[in-house]
Structure 1
Amino acid sequence: MKQSGFVPSSENLPIYYDLYTPDEWSSGQPLPVVLFLHGFKGFKDWGAFPDACAELSRAGFAVLAMNFSLNGVGESMTEFDQLDRFARETLSQDLDDVGSVIAALKNSKIEMSEGIQLDTDVIGIVGHSRGGHTAVAAAAEYPEVKCLVTWSAVADYNARWSSEMVSDWEEKGVTEIINGRTGQIMPVKKIVHEDALENADRLMAVKRVEELSIPALFVHSRGDEAVPYSEAEKLYEHCTSEQKEILLMPDSGHTFDTSHPFDGEDFPDIFQEVVTATREWFQNYLQ
């Protein structure tokens, strides 16, 4: 079962979400919550992500997939039609958006189907790529988060800015990137870089992972062309939790052999393994 809506961000912009719950839930027990965070140039409806969230929910979770308020995707849910917002999407705002969603869940601002209750003190979080980076910071920031999974996560975003990007920001206040899938030229303003530098202790995953005592699973493809698997190794090594694992998958790219749009009946084998490992991790540590 899927319900959709939005909650306001700290700027009063919509944080669109889809909430997946089991079609049948007769135990009477509150459902643990799992938050799903998309990555850079991503969105909650990308590729196989909705199907993965639905599969996780069938295992007895309420899975909330969210679009960050500044991710650049508006009511279409799939098109980057708000590039003015994308241009200033800071890591701080992303992290605050997670907090806004948690607060909305705890304050019953998100409508539930009849008979469904949520355990909002027991929240898991899974994030892909930049979303995995934010998921680590959120796990350290918000005490409700009790379990973490990352997919293809960045370890240190401040290590990813190229010299060309920094030069553009210094000279023009903005740099431009190309969306390889759509061909769009997408602006990124200097504030994004400044925010990451000024708030590094709060925002950088490689720093925040040192604060974790919750179960943490780091999943990555050995053939990731966008974020090398050494990033997962770095997060794993710096993580202070006694319950941590790293799962390195065979070569399957940044998105584990999936693409957008996704219309297959079955997941690619590697992606199915990732979803299964994620489900089992949450079953072991949230249920």
Structure 2
Amino acid sequence: MSSSTITKESGSVSSNEGLPIYYDCYLPPNSGAEPLPVVIFLHGFKGFKDWGAFPEACAAISEAGFAVAAMNFSLNGVGESMTEFDQLDLFARETLSQDLEDVRSMISAIHNEQVFPAGSSVDTGSIGLLGHSRGGHTAVAAAAEYAEVASVVTWSAVADYNARWSEDMISDWENKGVTEIMNGRTGQVMPVKDVVYKDALENADRLMAVKRARELTIPALFIHSKGDEAASYDNAEQLYRNCASDHKDLKLIEDSGHTFDTAHPFDEDEFPEAFQQALDYTTAWFQKHLQ
């Protein structure tokens, strides 16, 4: 795990609501020479771009010859601290529709040269999406929605978010307009308003990954752990089966969890074997289909 040669810069672009979409961009040496293909990283539910090993993973992908942009969704609940859920009012209304719009905003900002530093050369005709968990769900929908996306890779992706709402959550939304979930890592009680549920139901054809996978014609790779405790690996199998692309693959990793044996904070000298395996699959896929 080496990223000492990578240039990392941070900034924000505006969402369609005018809220900041915070990002980090990673560039390898000599990034002003040949145009670099772009990879956009999307975090999951109760996640953020700086979670655990994600920054080191983005740096490693960049080292393999990519311009990488890791973004925070505008309503993910993490503000300028970058690591604390200090905007629960925003988190409470983070819809899948807004996440999808944020990806559009990031793609547009990259095209308009607002993300990567002046003088760097990126190939905006060669954009890949990498998403973890709910971010993988959104990555599939975005790959079907936006013609600029040339390849997609998911880590531990959810296939159908509408299949994840529990009876208690639905009852809360119908009777109180809000439900509460516990963040096991921080101990915070986090509200989720009924607008999240209604959006997912009313716009299911546009938002549900398992539906949008049927529209994919670009190269698509679905990576999942057989030991995933949060989203079982049959999610990846569903996405793979439904994916219409002639260039698709499914990689199931043994004996690791939802984040491939990584945790937050991540302070190891090396990636766990499962995480390294997922990263190797990802890098090889993008090298084959974007470079």
| TM-score (ref. length: structure 2) | 0.97
| 2:258 paired with 1:254 | yes
Where does 1:39-58 land on structure 2 (aligned, <5 Å)? Answer: 39-58=44-63
Residue pairs, 1:20-35, within 5 angstroms = 20-25=26-31, 28-35=33-40
Misfit runs of 4+, over 6 Å: none
Q: How many residues align?
A: 285
**How much does 1:24 deviate?**
3.5
Amino acid in the other structure paired with 2:275: F
Task: Supply the distance in 2 between the matched residues of 1:251 and 1:184 (Cα, whole angstroms).
Answer: 29
**Are the aligned partners of 2:31 and 2:121 in contact in 1 as well (CA < 8 Å)?**
no
- Residue by residue, what CA displacement relative to the aligned partner does 1:21-66 show, whole Å, maximum 9, x if unpaired? 103446x211100000000000000000000000000111001000
Q: Distance in 1 between matches of 2:68 and 2:23?
A: 10
- 1:80 matched to which residue of 2? 85
Which residue is equivalent to 1:92? 97
Q: SS of 2:150's equivalent?
A: strand
Alignment equivalent of 2:65, drawn from 60, 63, 78:
60
Aligned amino acid, residue 228 of structure 1 = S
Contact 2:40 2:69 in 1 (8 A): yes
* Corresponding position of 2:4: none
State whether structure 2 residue 59 is matched by structure 1 residue 38: no
Which residue number in structure 1 is paired with residue 24 of structure 2? 18
Letter in 1 for 2:63: R
Identical residues among aligned pairs (%) = 68
Corresponding residue SS for 1:245: strand
Correspondence for 2:237 among 226, 233, 246 = 233
Give me the TM-score of the superposition, normalised by structure 1: 0.98
Distance 1:225 1:242, change over 3 A: same
1:49-84 C-alpha deviation (Å, 9 max, x unpaired): 000000000111001000000000000000000000
**How do 1:29-178 residues align onto structure 2 when only pairs under 5 Å count?**
29-114=34-119, 116-178=120-182
SS of alignment partner, residue 286 of structure 2:
helix
Q: Which runs of 5+ in 1 are unaligned?
A: none
5+ long unaligned stretches in structure 2: 1-6
Q: Distance in 2 between matches of 1:111 and 1:127?
A: 20
- The code of the aligned residue for 1:5 comes to G
Q: How does 1:160-239 map to 2 (within 5 A)?
A: 160-239=164-243
- Partners of 1:95 and 1:183 in 2: CA distance: 28
